[in-house]
Amino acid sequence: MVAFTKMHGLGNDFVVLDERAAPLGLTPDLARRIADRHFGIGCDQLISLEAAPGADVFIRIRNPDGSDAGACGNATRCVASLIAAETGQRQITVRTIAGDLPCTILRPDRVVADMGAPRLGWHDVPLAEAMDTLALPIAEAAAACSMGNPHATLFVDDIAAVDIGKDGPLLEHHPIFPERANIGFAQILAPDHIRLAMWERGAGQTLACGSGACAAIVNAHRRGMTRRRATISMPGGDLILEWRESDGHVLMEGPVATAFTGSFAL
């Protein structure tokens, strides 16, 4: 039997598997089956912990469609809290394929993750051809950046008027995004408050997305719509984001929770 921990950040939920001692031999098909909410355990992302010399842990991030992701803000905070509970450390470095992310444990259920610096060039996202990442030709007000994974933020007047289940998948698969993209619909409520709804690449609509919240503050500030620090309210709750002026890193503060633990036969 394989033990798992079911965690979430703002309802963005994860099956966390510990592969530090030995790999489980997961394949995209197995990942899809574990992530299935009816025939499996169910989650927005499947997270594998792996040993990481020089960091506290490496996380491999898989979507419910079996694809890999380079970043996951909510899982980064969740895993940091898990490792902190094991080690008693207050500072945890979570390694991802996109880099090392230093995390600070504020409380057992509240973590700040340094998500690193966004990448703002069209080829970084990536986009299909050279263009201004602040003005994508897919909507009136749309901007893109990479947080280690591709994000587009569409600024809308009223999120309630958006048909996310229709527009989300169309934009995720738009030819402008050769690796697809995570799509955020953002409504500016105040210079320090953004409402955000997410359509995630490979996962669909989720209650929250940490890297999407990072992209929202970066893109909103670049467009002159917000300050560098804001509360991002998503259906699952609030994150506090700061795009730090001194080094350009994005800091994300928010809650983490363990829902339950269990085991299953692979």
Ligand X SMILES: N[C@H](CCC[C@H](N)C(=O)O)C(=O)O
- Pick one of 26, 49, 73, 177: the residue that binds ligand X (CB under 6 A): 73
Measuring CA to CA, how many Å separate 193 from each of 68, 75, 147, 188, 231? 31, 23, 20, 6, 5
CB 213 within 8 A of CB 232: yes
Q: Decide: is 118 part of the binding site for ligand X (CB under 6 A).
A: no
CB 262 within 8 A of CB 41: yes
Which of the stretches 16-24, 34-42, 197-205, 255-263 binds ligand X when contact is defined by CB under 6 A?
Answer: 197-205
User: What is the three-class DSSP state of 48?
Assistant: strand
Q: Is 72 considered catalytic here?
A: yes
- Measured in residues, the chain has a length of 266
Q: Decide: is 116 part of the binding site for ligand X (CB under 6 A).
A: no
Which of the stretches 68-76, 86-94, 169-177, 218-226 binds ligand X when contact is defined by CB under 6 A?
Answer: 68-76
- What whole-number distance in Å separates Cα of residue 46 and Cα of residue 124? 25
CB of 210 to ligand X, least distance (A): 3
3-class SS string, 215-265 = HHHHHHHHCCCCCCEEEEEECCEEEEEEECCCCCCEEEEEECEEEEEEEEC
Q: Decide: is 72 part of the binding site for ligand X (CB under 6 A).
A: yes
Q: Is 214 considered catalytic here?
A: no
Which of the stretches 127-135, 154-162, 163-171, 206-214 binds ligand X when contact is defined by CB under 6 A?
Answer: 206-214
**Catalytic member of 43, 72, 78, 214:** 72
**Catalytic member of 43, 145, 209, 214:** 209
Known binding-site positions: 12, 45, 63, 73-74, 149, 182, 200-201, 210-211
Which of the stretches 26-34, 103-111, 204-212, 229-237 binds ligand X when contact is defined by CB under 6 A?
Answer: 204-212
- Pick one of 5, 45, 48, 187: the residue that binds ligand X (CB under 6 A): 45
Output 88 or 214, the one with its CB closest to ligand X. Answer: 214
Known binding-site positions for substrate: 12, 45, 63, 73-74, 149, 182, 200-201, 210-211
Q: Decide: is 81 part of the binding site for ligand X (CB under 6 A).
A: no
**DSSP 8-state assignment for residue 119:** B
Angle at which helices 73-87 and 210-222 pack, to 10 degrees? Answer: 130
Count the residues of the shown chain that bind ligand X, applying the rule CB under 6 A: 19
CB of 157 to ligand X, least distance (A): 25
- What whole-number distance in Å separates Cα of residue 143 and Cα of residue 158? 17
Output 100 or 191, the one with its CB closest to ligand X. Answer: 100
Q: Decide: is 187 part of the binding site for ligand X (CB under 6 A).
A: no
Number of CB atoms found within 10 A of residue 75's CB: 30
Bond before 126 cis per omega within 30 degrees:
yes
| DSSP-H helix ranges across the chain | 28-35, 73-87, 164-172, 210-222
- What whole-number distance in Å separates Cα of residue 92 and Cα of residue 71? 16
Q: Decide: is 12 part of the binding site for ligand X (CB under 6 A).
A: yes
Residues that bind ligand X (CB under 6 A): 12, 44-45, 63, 69, 71-74, 149, 182, 200-203, 206, 209-211
Catalytic residue set: 72, 209
